[in-house]
Structures are given as structure tokens and as C-alpha cells.
Chain A
């Protein structure tokens, strides 16, 4: 029993790393643009299908293929921001962007259904099936590699935000958009690039998700609702919060799975509700000065 619990915690942390990667993109987009990107879930699935195409058609390694898919998803993100989100202005902007990204998600999901149909697919590679035995734990290679990749990308995003000139303008925009504009920051460019980066990480998340789960175009719903629960739990806009909340939620889910797999996912949302009753702004969220 104790063995099972330790294994569940290790699994939760490893899977949590992958979710953290997807959630960081989502919370970054919220922090800078004040947008909740509902399409994030289906974009992860789109990333998984891109990886699938590359590995099946030209037999490219999954991790090497990321060079292509991350770039592609970055471009897709910039296009979505430029075409739909940039135009929205006014009081109801946050609610409107939520609906717009939901509509984008529907369109992408419908197109994926038209191309691939509802039958589930899974990504395959030599390291997907095999696992290594360390200190009495079974660790599957794909989760290990994925965790390292997620860690590297989160560090890269952190460095981008806190160690570069561009990152400084992103953080300035997060604090006060008008003031950032006044001191000469190109806020539109910041918005486009941030949305692109936030979406680009879904390519890596999608590859990991596709290698560890069977997916079909419909999988995006389950994913986005988990990601939303994570970023709200962590506090909207807080990158550290997203990391902590991902690991917390996935560990919790993996622990409950020992007793009841069916109820594990309900615990996930129930935890969100309980936390919000106690702390409406989440773990690390700023308490709103003025309710909107």
C-alpha cells in the first residue's frame, strides 16, 4: 500500500510537469492579455496530431519533430491573435475573448474530426513503451524525458520573462498596459508574441499528451477543463502558481486513482471548488482590488 502511494506521488509529479507546461502557456496569455484561451485544450490536440503526422509520414523522432511543431504552433497562435483577438475592445473584452476562443476551438475540433475521424490515435516511439527501474519505482522513459523537457521549457520561459529586454516589456504590459504604451513599448507586438509563445508550448504538451494517452479530436474538452482548474487554483496570471497547482492536482488525482479511477477526475474539480470557497483568488492570485 505504502509502495503504491509513493509510486502514485512520483507519477503525479512527472505528469504534473507536463501539465505545468501547458498551463504556463495558458496563464501567461491570461496575465499579459487578460484572455482565457479556451482553445488551448484543442490546440494541444492539434499539436499531438502534428507530431503524429511527422512521425507517421516522415518517421521523424517525436522530440526532434518538436522543432517543427513548436514553430508551427507559434505561427498559429500569432495568426489567431491577429485575426480574432486583436479586434476585441471594450468593457466585456475578457468574456468576449473567452467566447471567441471557444468558437476557434470548435472550428479546429470540427476540422480535425473531418480529417481524422473519431477513432483514437496514439504516438509511438521506442521509449514510449519501455520503463526504467529506479529506487524501486517504475519510471517510464517517456514521462522522464517529458518531465525534463517540460522543466527545460518552463525555465526557458522564465528566462525569457526575467532575463531579456522583451521579457521586461511583457512584465510591464502585465502590470499596466497604458503605462507600458506610454513609455514606448509596442503593446500589440508584445500581445502577439506572448500569445504565440503561450500557444507554442502546446506543441510540446501535445506531443507528450499524445505519447502517453490515446487521443481523438474530442480530447480537448477534458484537457482544457483540467488546465483551467489548474490555472485558477494557482491564481490567474501566476506562473509559479500554475507549476505548484499542476503538480498538486495531478498528484491528488493519481492518489485517488488508487482507490477509484472513476472518481479521480471529480476530485480534481471538487478540489478547485473547495479552494475557491476558501481563497477566491487561488493559491498565488492577487486579490482583486476592485471586483470587475
Chain B
């Protein structure tokens, strides 16, 4: 007990300085991110940034449900594509033009959420690996519907977005800030969810669903809420993506590679962490975009994506953030001989499960 009390006070003092440094770092990061389009005005560069931010948002939204609960979804494109189509169809049918289309984004979020309720009620009843397969099946249903419901979705021709009266020089910059707002908002929602009671319940479900249920967690309700929240965000970002690209096709709105990319981003960064999917998206999406632009047939990027995925899953299954965190902790403990020798193993032993739970 004595040792642990001493330890806590020691940690309190040691934490305050990194926290101050983190705050300064955050401010610098915020300034850099906001000033980015001013420094790099080339639309080629901002195009990369817009796509990266779109994927930061959707990967974080994916992680909000799948990363926290351990139910890997390969059907997130259902919401992304539906959000895009919702904006396109509503703008066409209600004759909305110009910047008024942005008023349709809440509709895109609502469509995502409304689809997620029956989807979740069916898919979340089954075991975890069956869940993955059902998400794939639902995904294909939606892609086929987008192809087949000609009068509604435009079939193979897809939908076009209304023209935005923005000059080509500022078009990308404006979308940079829109997608930045989406990305930041999603990360904030993810942080709040993680800290909330239901965030804890989600992670309890991930660790042992039956035990969580036994302790009084209403598993279905918690899972469904997170699933719907994740779907609403993804639907909204899908709407933004559609307005940026000005076009959606069945195979681009409902793209199997989209789902796999999200999973890869979260795994690369660290499943269930906040910064993991952000870092993963910032690394993978620009790389993928570069390969697609460079080699127009796209097969090479597919091979590389698969190979990268294999490497990560086999050699760094926990992702960059947890692995790096472990290295930093190891370095710190090595450079701190002041910790009493007897306390060190005790600290490790008592810390490990707590850290595990926080992840």
C-alpha cells in the first residue's frame, strides 16, 4: 500500500509536465492544420488533404463502433454510399442548387442512422465472425440496389451533384475546412464516447460480452447506439464526399475496398485507440491516392494494400500507437533508476490490466 501511494504521487508530478507539453503540441498542431491551405495552395496538394481528412473522419467513426466493441464491420460503405445518394437524390428531386445543398447533410446523417437501426438489430444478434459476414452481405444488397433501382439511383450512370458556385481556386480550400470540421468533430465525439459510461460498457462487451451482460450491461442497446452513431457520422461524411467529388456511382459509393481501407487504417494505427485511426488514415489514404493517380489501372495499389495489410496483421497486430506507447514506456522506465527496485515489478503488475482496460 505504501509503495503504491508513493507511486501515485510520483506519477502525478511526472504526468503534469508531459500534459503541458501535450497542450502546447496540440496548439501548434491546430495552427499548422488551420494554416495548411494557406501554405500549400496547390489544388493537387489540398486534394490529398481533403481525402485524408474524409478518411480520418470515417475511420474514426468506424473505430467508434468496431474498434471499441470488437465487432468488425465490413459494411460501413453502406452508410457512406447511402449518405452520398441521399444528398444526390434529395437535391435532384427537390431542385436544390448552389450552396443550399449543404443543408441536406443532416439528411445524409439521418439516412445513415435510419438504415443502421434494422441493420444493427439483425446483424448484432449473431456471433462476432458471423457479424462480419452479414455486414458484407448487406453491403452487397446495397450495391446491387444502387445498380438496379434505375429510376431512383440513376443505375450505372450514378448521380451528379449540383454545381457549387465556387471558383476553382478556392473550391478545394473550402472543402478542406469542411472536411477538417468533420474530422475534428468525429474525433471529439470518439473521445467523449470513450470517456462516457457507454464507452466503458462497449469495451466491457469487447472483452467479455457474457460477463458484461451478467454485470447488468444492456449489450444490445449499447452496441446498437454506437452502431447508429457511427453510421450517422459516416452517412454525413459520405454526403460531403459526394459534393466534393460531384459524382457517385454504385461501385464508388459502395466500394468493398473502402471497407477494407477503414479496417486497415484502424489496425495500422491501433484498434480501439483514439489516435490510431487518425494516424492510419493520414498514412494510408494519401499513399493509396498517390498510387491510384500514378498507376491509373489501380491493380498495383490493390496488391500493395493487401501486402501492407498482411505485414501489419502478422508483425504488428496491435498497431502503431500501442506498440509505440510500449517502446516509449520501456525507454522511460530504463532512464529512471530512481524507481525503487521493489516497486517496479509491482507497478508493472498493477498497471498492466488497467492500461489494457483503458485501451
**Which A residues contact B (CB, under 8 angstroms)?**
36, 84, 87-88, 92, 94-96, 98-100, 102-107, 109-111, 113-114, 221-222, 225, 228-229, 232, 236, 262-263, 265-266, 269-270, 272-273, 276-277, 280, 288, 290-292
Contact A100 B313 (CB under 8 A): yes
Whether A291 and B209, one on each chain, are in contact in the complex, defined by CB atoms closer than 8 angstroms, is yes
Asked whether, in the complex, the Cβ of B130 is within 8 Å of the Cβ of A236, the reply is yes
A92 vs chain B, min Cβ distance (A) = 7
Sample of 12 further A-B pairs with CB below 8 A, known A113-B297, A276-B122, A290-B210: A95-B128, A95-B132, A98-B72, A99-B313, A100-B309, A100-B314, A103-B307, A106-B303, A262-B148, A272-B134, A273-B138, A288-B127
A36 B134 Cβ-Cβ under 8 A: no
Q: Are A269 and B140 in contact (CB under 8 A)?
A: yes
Which residues on B sit within 8 Å (CB–CB) of A236? 129-130
Docked-complex contact A225 and B136, CB < 8 angstroms? yes
Q: Given the complex, which residues of A lie within 8 Å of B128, measured CB to CB? A: 94-95, 292
| B200 proximal to A (CB < 8 A) | no
Residues of A with C-beta under 8 A to B188: none
Evaluate contact between B256 and A269: CB separation under 8 angstroms: no
A-B contact pairs, 9 of them (CB 8 A): A95-B72, A96-B313, A107-B303, A114-B303, A221-B140, A263-B148, A265-B144, A272-B137, A290-B210
Q: Is the CB of B126 within 8 A of A273?
A: no
Which residues of B in the span 113-146 have a Cβ within 8 Å of any Cβ on A?
A: 122, 125-130, 132-134, 136-138, 140-141, 144-145
Is B303 a contact partner of A36 (Cβ separation < 8 A)?
no
Say whether B302 contacts A106, CB under 8 Å.
yes
Cross-chain contact B141 with A269 (CB below 8 angstroms): yes
With A95-B129, A270-B141, A288-B127 already in contact, the answer to whether A110 and B299 are too (CB < 8 A) is: yes
B267 within 8 A of A: yes
Q: Which residues in B have some Cβ–Cβ distance to A below 8 Å? A: 70, 72, 122, 125-130, 132-134, 136-138, 140-141, 144-145, 147-148, 209-210, 256-257, 260, 263, 267, 297, 299-300, 302-303, 305-307, 309-310, 313-314, 317
Choice from A99, A113, A114 contacting B72 with Cβ under 8 Å: A99
| Closest-CB distance, B353 to chain A (whole angstroms) | 15
Once A95-B129, A98-B129 are accepted as A-B contacts, the answer to whether A277 and B306 lie under 8 Å apart by CB is no
- Determine how close the nearest CB of chain B comes to the CB of A217; give it in whole angstroms: 8
CA distance A290 to B148 in the complex (A): 40
A126 to chain B, nearest CB (A): 34
Verify A99–B70 contact, CB threshold 8 A. no
CB nearest neighbor in B for A113: B299
B297 adjacent to A228 (CB under 8 Å):
no
Q: Kindly list chain A residues whose C-beta atoms are within 8 Å of the C-beta of B303.
A: 106-107, 110-111, 114
Q: Which partner residue on chain B sits nearest A117 by CB separation?
A: B297
Shortest beta-carbon distance from B306 to chain A in Å: 3
Say yes or no: A102 contacts B260, CB within 8 Å.
yes
B263 touches A99 (CB 8 A): yes
Contacts of B122 in A (CB 8 A): 273, 276-277
Q: Which of A102, A222, A263, A272 has the most CB of B within 10 A?
A: A102
Chain A residues, Cβ within 8 Å of B132: 36, 95, 98
Chain B residues, Cβ within 8 Å of A266: 141, 144-145, 148
Q: A96-B317, A107-B306, A110-B302 are in contact. Are A228 and B126 (CB under 8 A)?
A: no
Expressed in whole angstroms, the minimum distance between the Cβ of A30 and any Cβ of chain B is 9
Residue among A87, A96, A98, A111 facing the most chain B CB atoms (10 A cut-off)? A98
Closest 6 CB pairs of A and B: A106-B306, A110-B303, A103-B309, A107-B306, A110-B302, A113-B299
Considering the complex, give the chain B residue whose CB is closest to the CB of A115: B299
In the complex, chain A residues whose CB is within 8 Å of the CB of B145: 266
Bound-state CA distance A239–B57 (Å) is 42
A245 to chain B, nearest CB (A): 13
Q: Is the CB of B136 within 8 A of A228?
A: yes
* CB-nearest residue of chain A to B315: A87
With A103-B310, A110-B299 in contact, is A225–B140 under 8 Å at CB?
A: yes
